[in-house]
C-alpha cells in the first residue's frame, strides 16, 4: 500500500555528494510504508560549498530529519545545536533531528554496526579483534567494538601513522581493552599469534569494492588461519575476496558483508526521528529488497 502525499506529509532526506546510488530512500520509504507513517524520504545531491545553505534551508522548510553522508559527515557538525556521545567520540554525524532552534546530531553508524553484529550472532565481548583500515569508517567500527567489550584490538593500516594515532586516541577511553596499532604486517601476525586464540577481523577499507572485486588487503593465508569470523563493511559484491579468504581458512569460519550495518544505521535514524522501536523481524522484511537494489 502506498500513501497519498498531502499538505501534512512530513519530509525527511539525505544530504550527500553524490547520492545517485543511495538506497537510503528505499530503507526509509519502506519503513514509513510498513508503519503507515505519513512521511517521505528523498536524496539531495549537495555540493560541499552548499552544505550550510542546505542545512539551514532544510530547517526553514521544516524538514524533520536528515541523514548526512560523504563528504559532509564531519563538516556538518559545525551547524548543529548539539550532538550525541557517539558522534562526538567518532567525530562524524550521519543523522540530524529537527529540534526547537536547530538540529541535534547523532551517529547511527556505530549502533548500526553493533546491531548488525548481534543480528549475525557475532559476540564481541572478550574477543580478540583485528581492524583493517584507519579511516573514517574505522573510527565508528572501533568505537563499536570497544563499546561491545573487545578484550584486545589491533589496528592495521597501509599508512601505519594513522593506525597509531587512532590507537593513541581511543586506548585511554577504554582501558579495559588491550589496544594497539601494528607497525607492519609482521607485527600484526606477531600480535595475533601471541594470544593463542582465534580472531574476529573487520575490513573497514574500500579494498575489494566493486568493480575491483578480486582485490584483497591481506593475501597471506596465515592471517586468515588465525581468524574464525570476518566482517567486511563492503556490501557490493555481496561476498568480497576478504570474506572468501576468511571462509576458505576453516570450514567453521563465517564471514558477513556490510549490508546489515547499512540497514541498521538507517533503522536507528528512523527510530530516532519517529520515536519508534523497530524489531529484527521488520528489519528482515526490508533486507531482501535492499540486497536486490544494492546489487543493481
Q: Does residue 136 interact with ligand ATR by CB under 6 A?
A: yes
- What is the spatial distance between Cα 233 and Cα 244, in angstroms, rounded to a whole number? 14
Least separation, in Å, of the C-beta of 274 and ligand ATR? Answer: 28
Q: Does residue 217 interact with ligand ATR by CB under 6 A?
A: yes
Active-site pick, 52, 62, 64, 73: 73
Least separation, in Å, of the C-beta of 137 and ligand ATR? Answer: 3
Q: Going by C-beta distance under 8 Å and a sequence separation of 6 or more, which residues neighbour residue 155?
A: 130, 131, 134, 138, 142, 163, 166, 167, 179, 180, 181, 182
Q: Does residue 134 interact with ligand ATR by CB under 6 A?
A: yes
Q: Is residue 225 classed exposed, middle or buried when 0-12, 13-18 and 19+ CB atoms within 10 A define those classes? A: middle
Q: Which one of 27, 137, 166, 246 is in contact with ligand ATR (CB under 6 A)?
A: 137
Q: Does residue 57 interact with ligand ATR by CB under 6 A?
A: no
Q: Which DSSP string do the residues of 220-268 spell out, in sequence order?
A: -HHHHHTEEEEEES--SSSS-HHHHHHHHH-TT-EEE-THHHHHHHHHH
Q: Does residue 116 interact with ligand ATR by CB under 6 A?
A: no
SS (HEC) of 157-194: CCCHHHHHHHHHHHHHHCCCCEEEECCCHHHHHHHHHC
- What is the spatial distance between Cα 68 and Cα 71, in angstroms, rounded to a whole number? 8
Binding residues with ligand ATR: total (CB under 6 A): 15
Among the listed residues 55, 30, 28, the one whose alpha carbon sits nearest the alpha carbon of residue 44: 55
Phi, psi of 200 (to 5 degrees): -95, 125
- What is the spatial distance between Cα 70 and Cα 154, in angstroms, rounded to a whole number? 26
Given the rule CB under 6 A, which of 36-44, 75-83, 131-139, 167-175 is the region that contacts ligand ATR?
Answer: 131-139
Q: Which one of 157, 191, 269, 274 is in contact with ligand ATR (CB under 6 A)?
A: 157
Least separation, in Å, of the C-beta of 114 and ligand ATR? Answer: 18
Q: Which one of 18, 57, 126, 135 is in contact with ligand ATR (CB under 6 A)?
A: 135
For residue 225, indicate whether it is catalytic: no
Given the rule CB under 6 A, which of 3-11, 24-32, 104-112, 152-160 is the region that contacts ligand ATR?
Answer: 152-160
Handedness of CA 135, 168, 256, 241 (dihedral sign): positive
Given the rule CB under 6 A, which of 109-117, 157-165, 171-179, 266-274 is the region that contacts ligand ATR?
Answer: 157-165
Least separation, in Å, of the C-beta of 164 and ligand ATR? Answer: 11
Q: Which of residues 191-210 bind ligand ATR (CB under 6 A)?
A: 204-207
Among the listed residues 7, 63, 3, the one whose alpha carbon sits nearest the alpha carbon of residue 33: 3
Q: Which one of 133, 208, 237, 258 is in contact with ligand ATR (CB under 6 A)?
A: 133
Q: Which residue is nearest to ligand ATR (CB)?
A: 135
Q: List residues near ligand ATR by CB under 6 A.
A: 133-138, 157-159, 162, 204-207, 217
Which residues are designated catalytic?
73
Amino acid at each position: 500500500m502506498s500513501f497519498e502525499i498531502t499538505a501534512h506529509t512530513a519530509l525527511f532526506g539525505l544530504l550527500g555528494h553524490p547520492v545517485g546510488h543511495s538506497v537510503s530512500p528505499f530503507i526509509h520509504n519502506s519503513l514509513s510504508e510498513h508503519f503507515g507513517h505519513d512521511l517521505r524520504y528523498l536524496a539531495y545531491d549537495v555540493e560541499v560549498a552548499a552544505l550550510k545553505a542546505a542545512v539551514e534551508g532544510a530547517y526553514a522548510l521544516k524538514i524533520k530529519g536528515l541523514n548526512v553522508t560523504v563528504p559532509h559527515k564531519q563538516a556538518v557538525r559545525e551547524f548543529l545545536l548539539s550532538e550525541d556521545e557517539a558522534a562526538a567520540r567518532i567525530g562524524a554525524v550521519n543523522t540530524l533531528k529537527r529540534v526547537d532552534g536547530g538540529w541535534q546530531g547523532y551517529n547511527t553508524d556505530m549502533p548500526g554496526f553493533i546491531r548488525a553484529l548481534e543480528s549475525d550472532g557475532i559476540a564481541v565481548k572478550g574477543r580478540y579483534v583485528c581492524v583493517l583500515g584507519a579511516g573514517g569508517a574505522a573510527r565508528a567500527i572501533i568505537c563499536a567494538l570497544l563499546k561491545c567489550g573487545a578484550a584486545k584490538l589491533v589496528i592495521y593500516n597501509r599508512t601505519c601513522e594513522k593506525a597509531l594515532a587512532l590507537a593513541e586516541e581511543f586506548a585511554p577511553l577504554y582501558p579495559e581493552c588491550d589496544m594497539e596499532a601494528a607497525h607492519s604486517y609482521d607485527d600484526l601476525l606477531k600480535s595475533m599469534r601471541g594470544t593463542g586464540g582465534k580472531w574476529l577481523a573487520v575490513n573497514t577499507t574500500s579494498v575489494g569494492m566493486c568493480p575491483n572485486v578480486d582485490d584483497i588487503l591481506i593475501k597471506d593465508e596465515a592471517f586468515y588461519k588465525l581468524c574464525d569470523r570476518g566482517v567486511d563493511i563492503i556490501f557490493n559484491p555481496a561476498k568480497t575476496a576478504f570474506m572468501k579468504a576468511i571462509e576458505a581458512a576453516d570450514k567453521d569460519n563465517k564471514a558477513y558483508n556490510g549490508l546489515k550495518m547499512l540497514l541498521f544505521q538507517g533503522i536507528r535514524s528512523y527510530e530516532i526521528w519517529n520515536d519508534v522501536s523497530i524489531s529484527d523481524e521488520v528489519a528482515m522484511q526490508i533486507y531482501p529488497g535492499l540486497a536486490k537494489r544494492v546489487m543493481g
